[in-house]
């Protein structure tokens, strides 16, 4: 009987330790920033790269405002750098494989000027930064040139944490569909593993279901959805998957964006960038 009591006490202690570990592991938080903006109108005869960089300069303003509220990660909307769907190839840049310790801000011979600029931005504000862009995969003897709607996430020290090619492109006549589809996650600089998918992907089972099946429940999420359509969708998806999505929409009034957790929009602080068509950055403290 004494042995049984000791065994029961040991099991209870072990259970308490496990529960205590789980609670402590999940009791942290981080600060996320979700940008809500449209791309600036394109000037007559403006080259694609010049238009993109003019928009990227605005990105820095949002990051600086988010940093003033101690944000640790910032996410930007789909197509917010500018895109002409009929001339998608003009906007593409070649990207390296994600991972590794290369700081693309200081590295030489970087294939993508936009990657280099984003790396420098992440390093300068000491935040993880996720942007949406067009990726070019050059033609080979086996295949034609490929274009992808791609999300990249850079760490606060300028390395490329993740590269995700959208599985279900809306402009299917412009962008290729990756085969097999990407299942991409990354460990953030603040220790939370995050999964990546983009806009229209949310309507499909993959890759989101693959990621949640892996236990990943935090997602930076770039979208270009008509105002008013998104919030009910985000609430429903986050409730079904018991997950958190950080929504950045190309809706400058900010009503569709922010963080949605387990069926609810999380209270946030909204800062306006008046010089950029009154775009907004929504800053939220998120339970990890």
Mean pLDDT of all residues in 12-23:
32
pLDDT score recorded for residue 221: 98
Selection from 153, 119, 126 nearest residue 248 by Cα: 153
Phi–psi pair at 205, nearest 5 degrees: -75, -25
In the block, residue with structure tokens 């390395």? 159
pLDDT score recorded for residue 226: 79
CB 35 within 8 A of CB 74: yes
pLDDT score recorded for residue 253: 66
Mean pLDDT of all residues in 231-249:
95
Q: What angle do CA 193, 243, 206 make, to 5 degrees?
A: 80
Q: What does the DSSP assignment read for 81-150?
A: T---GGGGGGG-B----S-SS--TTT-SS-S-HHHHHHHHHHHHHTSEEEEEEEEEE---SSS--EEEEE
pLDDT score recorded for residue 251: 79
pLDDT score recorded for residue 256: 81
pLDDT score recorded for residue 9: 35
Lowest mean pLDDT of 2-11, 107-116, 252-261, name the range. 2-11
CB 282 within 8 A of CB 270: yes
Residues 107-166 pLDDT 10s: 999 999 999 999 999 999 999 999 999 999 999 999 999 999 999 999 999 999 999 999
For 196, half-sphere exposure in the C-beta direction (CA atoms, 13 angstrom radius) is 29
Q: Which helix (H) or strand (E) holds 282?
A: strand 279-287
In the block, residue with structure tokens 């590269």? 163
In the block, residue with structure tokens 């018991």? 242
Specify the pTM. 0.89
CB 218 within 8 A of CB 242: no
Which has more pLDDT, 65 or 227? 65
β-strand partners of 163: 152
pLDDT score recorded for residue 257: 86
User: What pLDDT band is residue 229 in, cutting at 50, 70 and 90?
Assistant: confident
Mean pLDDT of all residues in 238-267:
90
pLDDT score recorded for residue 12: 33
Mean pLDDT of all residues in 35-55:
96
Q: Is the pLDDT of residue 17 over 90?
A: no
User: What pLDDT band is residue 255 in, cutting at 50, 70 and 90?
Assistant: confident
Q: Is the pLDDT of residue 275 over 70?
A: yes
Task: Write down how long the chain is.
Answer: 288
Phi–psi pair at 12, nearest 5 degrees: -65, -45
User: What pLDDT band is residue 49 in, cutting at 50, 70 and 90?
Assistant: very high
Q: What is the DSSP letter of 170?
A: S
Q: Say what percent of the chain tops pLDDT 70.
A: 90
pLDDT score recorded for residue 272: 93
Q: How many CB atoms lie within 10 A of CB 196?
A: 30
Can you tell me the distance from the alpha carbon of 244 to that of 22, in angstroms, rounded to the nearest whole number? 18
pLDDT score recorded for residue 230: 86
Mean pLDDT of all residues in 181-198:
97
């Amino acid at each position: 009987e004494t042995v049984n009591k000791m065994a029961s006490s040991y099991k209870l202690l072990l259970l308490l330790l496990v529960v205590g570990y789980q609670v402590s592991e999940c009791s942290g938080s981080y600060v996320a920033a979700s940008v809500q903006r449209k791309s600036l109108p394109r000037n007559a005869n403006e080259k694609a790269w010049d238009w993109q960089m003019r928009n990227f300069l605005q990105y820095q303003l949002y990051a600086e405002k988010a940093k003033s509220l101690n944000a640790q990660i910032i996410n930007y909307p789909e197509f917010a750098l500018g895109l002409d769907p009929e001339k998608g190839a003009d906007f593409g840049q070649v990207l390296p494989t994600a991972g590794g310790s290369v700081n693309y801000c200081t590295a030489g011979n970087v294939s993508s000027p936009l990657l280099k600029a984003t790396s420098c931005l992440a390093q300068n504000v000491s935040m993880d930064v996720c942007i949406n862009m067009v990726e070019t995969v050059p033609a080979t003897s086996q295949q034609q040139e490929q274009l992808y709607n791609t999300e990249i996430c850079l760490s606060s020290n300028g390395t490329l944490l993740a590269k995700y090619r959208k599985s279900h492109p809306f402009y299917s006549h412009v962008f290729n569909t990756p085969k097999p589809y990407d299942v991409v996650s990354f460990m953030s600089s603040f220790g939370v593993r995050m999964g990546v998918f983009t806009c229209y992907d949310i309507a499909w089972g993959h890759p989101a279901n693959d990621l949640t099946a892996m236990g990943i429940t935090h997602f930076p999420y770039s979208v270009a959805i008509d105002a008013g359509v998104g919030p009910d969708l985000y609430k429903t998806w986050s409730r079904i998957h018991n997950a958190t999505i950080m929504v950045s929409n190309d809706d400058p009034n900010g009503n569709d964006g922010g963080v949605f957790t387990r069926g609810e929009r999380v209270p946030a602080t909204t800062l306006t960038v008046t010089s950029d068509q009154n775009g907004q950055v929504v800053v939220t403290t998120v339970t990890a």
